[in-house]
Amino acid sequence: MSSRFARHELIPGWNQQQLADARVIIVGMGALGNEVARILAMSGVGRLLLCDPDRIEESNLSRTLLFRQSDIGNFKVEAAAAALKEFNPDIRVKTRSLSLIHGVGLGEIRDANLVISCLDSRLARLQLTGRCNLVKAPYIDGGTHPWGGEVRPYLEPDGACYGCSLTPEERSIADIPWSCLDTRSEQSVGAAVPSSALVGTWMGTIAVSFLMHQNCPSGTLKIDSSRGTTVIIPQFRDSECPLHSSIDSVTKIDVSSQDTIKKLRSQLPQSAVALTWEPVQSSVECTNCHFQEIRWGLPAVDSCPLCQSPLRSRTTVELDNAPDCMKLADLGIPPREILATRMGNDWEWFELKNSEQGDW
Ligand SMILES: [Zn+2]
Ligand SMILES: [Zn+2]
């Protein structure tokens, strides 16, 4: 181990090799994501996967130590990866400039040692919770308010999850088709670097402890800088929480997200219908005239070629009619995704292999 970590080795119980061997996924590369990623990289966590679809705006720069003025307009994950490599050239950083559902496969989440949620909407948190629970992945969620925030470690595979802390009405947002909701339209709230640094440092501290099998707080940390307190609120598993179903046995197939629907079909049993986790567009139709067209892909805003009115997407989660030549990635299927597959009344799970571009 290089002398970079000589001071770590003086800490009783510190295990640098465990950190070097660890894989951590960070979802959300805003203010909190910046803080946590910096702590993990400098601590020597060997592999990081950063996922965030957004580009850097000037208003991010007051809270994000990984971004510079010259990064405005670039993807957050790309700028963050470059900065992290400067903090510690020995780590591997993978980036996905996509939303969670399209950016990180369930196989990757399952094989990560820890997932860090630095998201800013309830919907996005519920999506991440559902995906972590499907493969029983430990995760830490954080959120800030102007003078503090909350850190919620969900480190027990059968313990409470983020959804358990919500009322059924609050959870029901996840029942609305996700594509109908624009998560960006949520109102901006005040945020400043003292809070994100405080909350992010707590998240980074718990993450590093967890990766080295040290004691971690169990319960939600409520951080209030105006009182100078961090208190723990117990978390309870809600027996009504619907987010705890998990995937049991998975069949690995010789198909990657860079392969085509044709190849996927050739690897699945004859009667199997593969499903996507989020609806994909199968056709478009004009909201005004009679124009319609088969058009597979991710739903996109577009206008009618005949009358310029907005087009409406028809969507599906079933891939049995998708065109042979279509790449899975172009339908928003991430590397190492686990696809649910319906065979009559039964379900089976098929896991995509690594693709060259998606290896982590
Ligand atoms: Zn739950
Ligand atoms: Zn039209």
Rounded average pLDDT over 263-289:
95
Kindly give the residue spans of alpha helices, DSSP state H, lying in 212-319: 261-267
Quick one: pLDDT at residue 172?
82
State the residue for tokens 């339209």. 185
| The pairing of beta strand 220-224 with beta strand 250-252 | unpaired
Within this chain, do residues 127 and 35 fall inside the same structural domain, yes or no? yes
**Ligand minimally distant from the alpha carbon of residue 305:** 2
Rounded average pLDDT over 135-164:
96
Q: How many CB atoms lie within 10 A of CB 307?
A: 12
Residue 128 has pLDDT above 80, yes or no: yes
**Ligand minimally distant from the alpha carbon of residue 240:** 1
In a domain, 319, yes or no: yes
**Ligand minimally distant from the alpha carbon of residue 288:** 2
Rounded (10°) angle between helices 31-43 and 193-211:
40
Centre of ligand 2 to C-alpha 310, Å, is 8
**Ligand minimally distant from the alpha carbon of residue 152:** 1
65-124 confidence digits (pLDDT tens) = 999 999 999 999 999 999 999 999 999 999 999 999 999 999 999 999 999 999 989 999
In a domain, 357, yes or no: no
The CATH number of the domain holding residue 133 is 3.40.50.720
Centre of ligand 1 to C-alpha 166, Å, is 9
Distance CA 35, CA 65 (A): 7
Centre of ligand 2 to C-alpha 304, Å, is 5
Which has more confidence, 132 or 187? Answer: 132
Within this chain, do residues 190 and 294 fall inside the same structural domain, yes or no? no
- Side-chain-side CA neighbours of 122 within 13 Å: the count stands at 15
In a domain, 169, yes or no: yes
State the residue for tokens 């980036």. 95
| Percent residues over pLDDT 90 in the chain | 87
Centre of ligand 1 to C-alpha 40, Å, is 27
Quick one: pLDDT at residue 188?
73
Quick one: pLDDT at residue 190?
84
Query: Per DSSP, what are the bridge partners of residue 148?
Result: 145, 224
- Residue 46 in contact with residue 73, Cβ under 8 Å? no
**Ligand minimally distant from the alpha carbon of residue 130:** 1
In a domain, 163, yes or no: yes
What is the pTM (predicted TM-score) of this model? 0.94
**Ligand minimally distant from the alpha carbon of residue 244:** 1
Within this chain, do residues 297 and 199 fall inside the same structural domain, yes or no? no
Within this chain, do residues 207 and 221 fall inside the same structural domain, yes or no? yes
Centre of ligand 2 to C-alpha 308, Å, is 6
Residue 52 has pLDDT above 90, yes or no: yes
pLDDT band at 185 (very low <50, low <70, confident <90, very high): very low
Query: Per DSSP, what are the bridge partners of residue 61?
Result: none
Rounded average pLDDT over 303-325:
96
Centre of ligand 2 to C-alpha 288, Å, is 5
Rounded average pLDDT over 45-74:
97
Q: Which of 157, 156, 158 is nearest to 219 (CA)?
A: 156
Residues with Cβ within 8 Å of residue 344, at least 6 apart in sequence: 271
Q: Which of 138, 132, 140, 127 is nearest to 106 (CA)?
A: 132
Within this chain, do residues 234 and 257 fall inside the same structural domain, yes or no? no
Centre of ligand 1 to C-alpha 194, Å, is 30
Within this chain, do residues 78 and 212 fall inside the same structural domain, yes or no? yes
Within this chain, do residues 162 and 207 fall inside the same structural domain, yes or no? yes
Within this chain, do residues 216 and 333 fall inside the same structural domain, yes or no? no
State the residue for tokens 């050739």. 266
Distance CA 113, CA 116 (A): 10
Centre of ligand 2 to C-alpha 282, Å, is 18
In a domain, 233, yes or no: yes
- Residue 261 in contact with residue 250, Cβ under 8 Å? no
Centre of ligand 1 to C-alpha 30, Å, is 25
Centre of ligand 1 to C-alpha 159, Å, is 8
Distance CA 63, CA 196 (A): 7
User: In whole angstroms, what separates CA 198 from the centre of its chain?
Assistant: 22
Residues with Cβ within 8 Å of residue 93, at least 6 apart in sequence: 41, 47, 48, 49, 50, 80, 81, 84, 85
In a domain, 359, yes or no: no
Within this chain, do residues 218 and 270 fall inside the same structural domain, yes or no? no
216-272 confidence digits (pLDDT tens) = 999 999 999 999 999 999 999 999 999 999 998 999 999 999 999 999 999 999 889
CA torsion angle 245 251 256 260 (round to 10):
-100
Domain encompassing residue 43: 3-244
**Ligand minimally distant from the alpha carbon of residue 290:** 2
SS3 140: strand
In a domain, 201, yes or no: yes
Vertex 109, ends 104 and 115: CA angle to 5°? Answer: 100
Centre of ligand 2 to C-alpha 284, Å, is 11
Last residue of a domain, one of 219, 244, 269: 244
Centre of ligand 2 to C-alpha 312, Å, is 10
**Ligand minimally distant from the alpha carbon of residue 170:** 1
Kindly give the residue spans of alpha helices, DSSP state H, lying in 212-358: 261-267
pLDDT band at 171 (very low <50, low <70, confident <90, very high): confident
Centre of ligand 2 to C-alpha 302, Å, is 11
Centre of ligand 1 to C-alpha 15, Å, is 32
pLDDT band at 49 (very low <50, low <70, confident <90, very high): very high
Within this chain, do residues 334 and 213 fall inside the same structural domain, yes or no? no
In a domain, 123, yes or no: yes
Within this chain, do residues 229 and 343 fall inside the same structural domain, yes or no? no
**Ligand minimally distant from the alpha carbon of residue 292:** 2
Residue 356 has pLDDT above 80, yes or no: no
Count of structural domains, the chain: 2
Mean pLDDT of the chain: 93
Last residue of a domain, one of 226, 244, 262: 244
Quick one: pLDDT at residue 252?
96
Quick one: pLDDT at residue 303?
96
Centre of ligand 1 to C-alpha 173, Å, is 14
Last residue of a domain, one of 225, 244, 263: 244
Within this chain, do residues 32 and 135 fall inside the same structural domain, yes or no? yes
Quick one: pLDDT at residue 179?
46
Centre of ligand 1 to C-alpha 138, Å, is 13
Q: Which of 156, 79, 99, 81 is nearest to 360 (CA)?
A: 81
**Ligand minimally distant from the alpha carbon of residue 133:** 1
